Structure 1
Amino acid sequence: MDVQELFCLVNDFLIAKEYDPTTAMYLNLIVNCIAVGIIAFVIDYVIRRVLIALAYRIAPKTKNNFDDFLIKNKLPQNVAHLIPVFFIEQISPFLFVDFPDFQRGFLTAIDIFLVILVIRVIRSILNSLRDFLKTLNAFKDKPIDSYIQVFMIFVWTVGIILSFSILTGKSIVAFVTTLGALSAVILLIFRDTILGFVASIQVAVNDMVRIGDWITMENYGADGDVIEINLATVKVQNFDKTITTIPTYALISDSFKNWRGMNDSGGRRIKRSIIIKTTSIHYLSDEEIESLKKIQLISDYLVQRQEDIEKYNGKRAVDKSLLINGRNMTNIGVFRKYVESYLETHPAINKEMTIMSRQLAQTPQGIPLEIYAFSQDKVWKNYEYIMGDIFDHLLAAVPFFYLEVYELEVGGS
């Protein structure tokens, strides 16, 4: 008995029972469809179980975990689905021998379904590749999601073109030519995707942003760590744990601050001022200098400085009945030296980077004395503690130098 006779058994049986030929033909088709469906389901189940078992047996023996990601992204299941579909496609000429119109429509649907299954297989492979690359140190901070999405867009585009070609019976070349005429509409529809793709390439090539970078983008209210970069958006987890979504192309068109340079450097910058009340600034008297010599950090400096000043004034016979004559020390100058010495001996300050205490331009509030240094610890919480500790000390030290910190006086009612 050949295959065709097998598919006609029900029809022959019903004809023998004196059923109407048309009824017998349709009942024969229904029974055959159910039988083929059951066989296809069994084939799918068996092959799926075999492939999964085989994958789980091979995966532990390989050196890398790429195959583990293939299993995770269901590649064996998607491959297994192809076999029963191929079986149905091959058996359909016998199944629809009496229904040629049905056969053409059924084969068209099967071909389109095969295209979708192949896309799912490719998606499983690409997703597995994405997950695997993210485990490698060289790719952890790269926008892998963007590239995978670009490939998937390309794959889906090819799949849609093939599906329309199968559905309409026209060649792929004719369909692509039609799409060319609609290019303006396509560009309008996929504008954000195209911009995001170009931006992703520029971001990766120029190494502008990596996953894990701390960025600040005021236009979008973003201030935190980059947790995802894909084709359309960049996700930033702010320090209050909210998520800000930024269009990828905004990284090219708008300005933003990337704090990676600070993280890669030897320290985090401290740049803050103490505003000294102008009226508290004066020349130091001998008594005040002697008192300040008790401060260990600057005692040697004051002794050496006083000797240099006395030698200079003595050579020029300076009249010191007025302090303004000749060279003198000021309380703010000595305090500035103290601040610098304090920073140079502070254990949390990076001594290999700039350490400076400088006087800024006068303001209506007073004279800003700026501390410019770098903490060795770059963790935000620790950095704030270090900076607070430094300024706690300096603010408490100001009165020892006969200076006053500016405070805005608020009148009473």
Structure 2
Amino acid sequence: MTDQITTAPRVPKRVAAVILNSLKGGVVPRIGLPYITVGREFEIQALLTDLSLISDGGASFRFLVGRYGAGKSFLLQTIRTHAMGEGFVVADADLSPERRLQGGQGQGLATYRELVRNLSTKTRPEGGALNLILDRWVQNLEAEDASREDMSKGDVSNGHVAGSTPAGTPIRAQFAAIEEMVHGYEFSRVLGIYRNAVSTGDEETKALAVKWLRGEYRTKTEARSELGVTAIIDDDTWYDYVKLLARFLTGAGYKGLLVLIDELVNLYKIPNAVTRQYNYEKILQMYNDTLQGKAHHLGIIMGGTPTSIEDRRRGVFSYEALRSRLTQGRFAREGMRDMLAPIIRLQPLTYEELLVLIEKIAQIHAGYFGYTCTLRDADLVEFLTIEFGRVGAETHLTPREVIRDFIELLDIMCQNPNTDLHELMASGTVGVADASAPSNTTPFAEFTI
């Protein structure tokens, strides 16, 4: 293990900055994940199976369970990136005291607004893709209508009666299916208003239709006066509109909608037991809808800690109807997990996977700050040996902490090129610059280890 680590693919400087800053800050970067993804093959494959089901018109529901820093949010973002690349629309939101699944003061609606605000596609991965999706739907509908007119003209020229061709074109049929769903009539009516506004160039009406779809109308009276619609999206109905949106997206040329909801621990923290139960009841509704075929082209993934799921006093398992559905069966055990079960429990990254990960990070760091990385495999092994040598590391050390310490180590060595790496690691002061070490006025000068 004395060879210098191999050179990784060059990472664009902007992406490298996001990766390093996010990881050092303990959060998951929104871009550049393929450069640092290691392990999780079984979990990713299971979730990719769900995407195939969603594309075929089905629905899926999963819980991702892992303790803080175990890579839960990272895996969610990895699936998010992959889904967008495969033609899905992705909406994500973190729960908080202000954003829940159900609430008496607009917390459920706040979650819906966050999901719609974060609607993302391959061409708009940063979110805010609602207008893009609507315009693409209008274009597809107009193209379909033009094609139908051409077919009708052809029938007339061949001696057939105009209009005898089937009127049930794919998007029209999809529209009819939407109208039959709960709240589908109001949803379809707003879509029709948007399309007419596009045809007439009425930007104000377009904006009002988008405002309605974003759930920004506070009262039905306001919606009626501005848009002529007698219903609004609220705390009780927002999930029905998520199902409608998922069904609608196929008409805009997408494969479906993937909803990512993280930080379930915020439901666990709700002090009022009745309010918690209402939120868990909403999870049950989502779970039943997806598994019973009541939702189409919709995937839901929720992320939480083991306590927020399995605690029978305050967690998801405190709701008996959910616990009986989600409890692991008798045959799954260590080394033989059921990856098709509704709960995917994240196992810690292996020592080898962490080694590969910090190697990738070292190359990204060197590329960003413009020096030649001379770290050897033995140096990386020494770092991990020290990290895992801490008291309680076996049960408490997470990838987040390892990555944070490693980037901090690289930063210190980069700013103090005369510092000896091995002495710094052996001193147990990783992450704290040695005051006696000679400093360099050029903070990111090339250094050798």
TM-score surpassing 0.5? no
Q: Which has the higher helix share?
A: 1
Using the size of structure 2 for normalisation, the TM-score is: 0.21
Which of the pair has the greater relative contact order for Cα pairs under 8 Å at 6+ separation? 2
Using the size of structure 1 for normalisation, the TM-score is: 0.23
Q: Which has the higher strand share?
A: 1
